[in-house]
Amino acid sequence: MNVFRIKSVEQSMHDTEEPEHQLKKELSAWDLTFFGVGVIIGTGIFVLTGQEANLNAGPAIVISFVLAGVTCGLAALCYAEFASTVPVAGSAYTFSYATLGELVAWIIGWDLVLELALGAAVVARGWSAYFHDLFGLPSWLAGDDARPDIAAILIVLGLTAVAILGTKLSGRFTGVLVVIKVAVCLFVVAAGLFFIKAANYSPFLPPSKPSASDAAASDQPLIQAVFGMTPSHFGAFGVIAAASVVFFAYIGFDIVATAAEETRNPKRDVPRGIIGSLAICTLLYMAVSFVVTGMLRYSDPRMSTSAPLSEAFQANGVTWASKVISLGAVCGLTTVILVLLLGQSRVLFAMCRDGLLPQKLATVHPRFGTPHVITLLTGCFVAVLAGIVPLAELSKLVSIGTLFAFVLVSAGVIILRRTRPDLHRAFRVPAVPWVPILSILACIWLMLNLSLATWARFLIWLAIGFAIYFTYGARHSRVGRAGPADVSDRRVPERLDD
């Protein structure tokens, strides 16, 4: 059993032409940009900004967003090259299959299941809280330790239906909500400028101080535990620790790559969608975090609540603004859930099509052109997670899973440049191998600043994935059944190589 067998680029492209597995190509660069902005602007800008400023970075949270954005930007260049060269559903899973082999591809696919499903469930819980605040709905609709979160379940199931009805419909729906939430972010910046107090920026980088003695040892960042450092908040390490957490705010731009197979001109439009959406969101994050920490001092307890933006305006007597911000949050989190569901279903679709999961699930609806079976199963799974599973601690797994995917994609660019220099690359990462190496180092550094408990849960998840692969996936793999000759002797379909 060769677990490092590679599925060639040609075979990946050929599989997209199979009638029973063929997705509709109807997305443009604008659609992809809206998807990217739709999934990035969400929990990070409405929640994490204040919480991490209060806990780790102070006003220097702006720098944390820059560090996280630069790390994502380096990885985005690598994603753009891969997605323009291999425009196939599956994103990092597909790219890893073509460069690092089947076992690594399975690991990254399993990792993306964790990132996207858990991310969607976490965001659905946040959506429920903001929705209740905005409309004053009965408390029984919101979940607690004894009752399921009905609103979270309903929003996930409703957006699952939208995802099944068509990718173009999902794009238009996302586009409308993206316009609303970007307008709300611009409102926060423009209105908040009038309430900034210079004293709130002093000190801009608060001095480092030890963590509370009663803090759990498992919450200590891995790098501090390895080198015996005293756990601390603020200072330079606080800014980096905050960057590791607010990295959660950027997850999802890679989902644009999962839509490459459904894009009319993927070699041109996918790089534009990935890089454009990331640039827009980084600027918005920086502007909002700068304004909010100027409106309300970072040490104020109200910064650590679930709605720091609203609290900042209420602290300055602008109580009506909280409703506007809640509206933006509801719209923002709606698009995040939808795009995460789309990305999750495409990754699982690619894995099922390859036989690593039951191949019968990889069927496409004859009218809507979407993987309706896997989308429905994904939606139901996420709805259960969002409705009844406690997610406060598990949400930290999303960041480490995403960073791990970025490491493998960045390494894959270097490998594919050496193993397949003949491939036409519509977009090329500059200064290879140095840019991918910088991306790998930046991602690993952020991973090292995540807690010991997060690393332990991540390793357990990977162990479960290994068990499934060796008991099912390795034995049912289409690449394994086809043999080397059948896999490598395919030519790239001409219309995908235009």
Asked if pLDDT for residue 102 goes beyond 90, the answer is: yes
Provide the pLDDT for residue 197. Answer: 92
Asked if pLDDT for residue 46 goes beyond 50, the answer is: yes
Contacts of 289 (CB under 8 A, 6+ apart): 49, 53, 61, 62, 65
Residues 496 and 370: their CA atoms lie apart, in Å, by 19
Asked if pLDDT for residue 112 goes beyond 50, the answer is: yes
Provide the pLDDT for residue 171. Answer: 75
Helices and strands counted in the chain (H then E): 22, 2
Residue 123 contacts residue 340 (beta carbons within 8 Å): yes
Provide the pLDDT for residue 142. Answer: 65
pLDDT digits (tens, 9 = 90+) for 243-264: 887 877 777 777 777 777 778 8
Provide the pLDDT for residue 489. Answer: 40
pLDDT band of 454, cuts 50, 70, 90: confident
Provide the pLDDT for residue 199. Answer: 93
Percent of the chain past pLDDT 90, that is, above it, reads 18
- The pLDDT of 55-77, averaged and rounded, is 89
Asked if pLDDT for residue 118 goes beyond 70, the answer is: yes
The lowest-confidence range among 32-41, 56-65, 248-257, 264-273 is 248-257
pLDDT band of 486, cuts 50, 70, 90: very low
Average pLDDT over the chain, rounded to an integer: 82
Percent of the chain past pLDDT 70, that is, above it, reads 89
% helix, strand, coil for the chain, step of 5: 75, 0, 25
**Cα–Cα distance list, 60 to 234, 235, 394, 451 (Å):** 9, 9, 26, 21
Provide the pLDDT for residue 470. Answer: 93
- The pLDDT of 303-326, averaged and rounded, is 81
Return the domain boundaries, the chain.
Answer: 25-202+232-476
Q: Which two tokens stand for residue 203?
A: 């000190």
Asked if pLDDT for residue 493 goes beyond 50, the answer is: no
pLDDT band of 488, cuts 50, 70, 90: very low
To which residue do tokens 């075979």 refer?
A: 11
Highest mean pLDDT among 20-34, 253-267, 281-295: 281-295
Provide the pLDDT for residue 482. Answer: 72
pLDDT band of 358, cuts 50, 70, 90: very high
Asked if pLDDT for residue 490 goes beyond 50, the answer is: no
Between residues 411 and 329, the one the model is more confident about = 411
Residue 290, classed as helix, strand or coil, is: helix
- The pLDDT of 385-390, averaged and rounded, is 80
Residue 391 contacts residue 385 (beta carbons within 8 Å): yes
**Cα–Cα distance list, 136 to 140, 142, 154, 334, 416 (Å):** 12, 11, 17, 18, 54
Residue 402 contacts residue 251 (beta carbons within 8 Å): yes
pLDDT digits (tens, 9 = 90+) for 132-144: 777 777 766 666 6
- The pLDDT of 228-232, averaged and rounded, is 69
- The pLDDT of 156-172, averaged and rounded, is 85
- The pLDDT of 158-178, averaged and rounded, is 83
Residues 273 and 257: their CA atoms lie apart, in Å, by 9
State the number of CA atoms in the 13 A half-sphere of 317 facing the CB. Answer: 3
CATH number given to 25-202+232-476: 1.20.1740.10
pLDDT digits (tens, 9 = 90+) for 362-380: 888 888 888 899 999 999 9
Provide the pLDDT for residue 335. Answer: 84
The lowest-confidence range among 254-263, 274-283, 435-444, 488-497 is 488-497
